[in-house]
Amino acid sequence: MFDAFAPTNLLIIAVVAALVLFGSTKIPEFFRSLGKAAGEFKKGKLESEIEAEEIAKQAKQNGYNVQTDPSKEDLEKQIKQLQDQLDQLKKNQKQ
């Protein structure tokens, strides 16, 4: 039986409706701006990754142990170390 709401039929209806509503000149402008937005997003993502790597590099130079992608075991180890340091600080404050 013919399915009126098949994905391909809905796509064709959407394209025809877009052409009727916006005309043939606005649709290319829309996709052009959509492409520019996607490019800006990728650019921003790359810049933030580079900045994060630079911060990690500076932290390593200052003696901090920094990992950009720590494993679960590494995180648990760091948490344990921080808890030990906190306990030591609490003991020192009581004295």
Looking at residues 42-55, what average pLDDT do you find?
92
* Whether 10 and 56 share a structural domain: yes
| Domain co-membership, 28 together with 51 | yes
Both 56 and 85 in one domain: the answer is no
Torsion sign, CA atoms 34, 35, 38, 43: negative
pLDDT digits (tens, 9 = 90+) for 49-76: 999 888 888 888 888 776 666 677 778 8
Regarding whether 29 and 1 lie in a shared domain, the answer is yes
Same domain, 48 and 87: no
**DSSP string covering the chain:** ---TT-HHHHHHHHHHHHHHHHHHHHHHHHHHHHHHHHHHHHHHHHHHHHHHHHHHHHHHHTT----SS--HHHHHHHHHHHHHHHHHHHHHHH-
Indicate if 73 and 93 belong to the same structural domain.
yes
pLDDT given at position 53: 87
Domain span at residue 4 reads 1-64
Domain tally, the chain: 2
Q: Model-level pTM greater than 0.85?
A: no
Same domain, 60 and 75: no
Indicate whether 58 and 30 sit together in one domain: yes
